[in-house]
Amino acid sequence: MTHPTPNEEGFRRPAEWEPHAACWVAWPHMAHEWLEDLEPAREELVALCRAIADADPETGAPRGERIRMLVRYAHSETEARAALADLSVGFVPVPFGDIWMRDIGPIFVRHERGDVATLRFAFNGWGGKYFFDGDTTVAESITATAGVRSFDLPTVLEGGALEVDGEGTCLTTRQCLLNDNRNPGVDVATMERVLCESLGVERVLWLDRGLDNDHTDGHVDTLARFVRPGVVLCMEPDPRGDPNQQVLDDIARDLAAMTDARGRRLEVLRVPSPGAVLDRAGRPMPASTMNFYIGNRTVVVPTYGSAQDDDAVEAIRRCFPDRRTVGLSARALLTGGGAFHCITQEQPASTKVDP
């Protein structure tokens, strides 16, 4: 017996600029993984939370969106509470490994009548690269805490691999979704059917590959982002030298030739790349200004100490005239492989409200 798909039941993945009920994050606790970057990564997470909560200075109540934070241990909660004492945060004690909520958490969808549910795809440590205790049960734990129904899906898929416009279009990459380290032997037609049936989209647009040294195998949230239906951002290479120059130019060219589910030719806007951001061994890291988070009131853009940072933040600010846009350091988070979009997962509002 087959069960109705999320799409058949009327669910779809909202665009990120649609109203949120909460933002899910997690408190970093794995000192053996973060090493000397643990405390700086925590500081960057705290700054992110403050920005998207946009708290009332007198009451601490969020004017933007509520923060729900996973904490692994009792002492983790104590640390997080102390760091966020000025905010009203919902702490949720559950097992988890690292903090990449976009990938280990569930993907939220919303029904046309307003009900919210989750999609729980299979997770295999980004193609078998990283396995941390608790990561495979995070989606189930968040679903139970949120008190919503769930669709359990066997396909291996991470949230950072998907970008939707809320009007039927999904953007992704071949390097990730067609990779044998996720779903061996899957073809384009099969994956497109999975995405349409689960996300409620009608057209899937494919980019080729991602940034140099990206262990996610080309997650699209480091490459291109919708800012409104029909309009997509991608990066312009640093003219002084960029390890991803060819990839970034290929992405812009390919996007300009695409049409969305409504038949619109995509309008492509370009934002400065951070250029060469190097690790301690001198290797390029997958730094991306595209890994921003669109909150109810605030867009938070990652910065890396690059000469391009200010221009990138300003370019993204112009795309969101109804929100404030802030640039915050994500240099320590990047040592773990990602930035602000990677460590967040938005829970849509159950009914359409004014954010």
Cβ neighbors of 231 (< 8 A, separation 6 or more) are: 266, 267, 269, 319
Q: What letter represents residue 94's amino acid?
A: V
Phi-psi region of 234 (alpha: psi -120 to 50; beta: other; left: phi over 0): beta
Distance CA 126, CA 197 (A): 22
Contact 135, 105 (CB under 8 A): no
Distance CA 10, CA 19 (A): 18
E strand or H helix at 315: helix 309-317
Q: Output the six-digit token pair for 10.
A: 């009327």
DSSP sequence for 21-83? EEEEEE----HHHHGGGHHHHHHHHHHHHHHHH-B-TTT--BSS-EEEEEESSHHHHHHHHHH
342 tagged catalytic:
yes
Distance CA 264, CA 196 (A): 19
Distance CA 247, CA 204 (A): 20
The catalytically annotated residue of 170, 176, 319, 342 is 342
How are beta strands 345-348 and 20-26 bridged, if at all?
antiparallel
Phi-psi region of 345 (alpha: psi -120 to 50; beta: other; left: phi over 0): beta
Cite the active site residues.
342
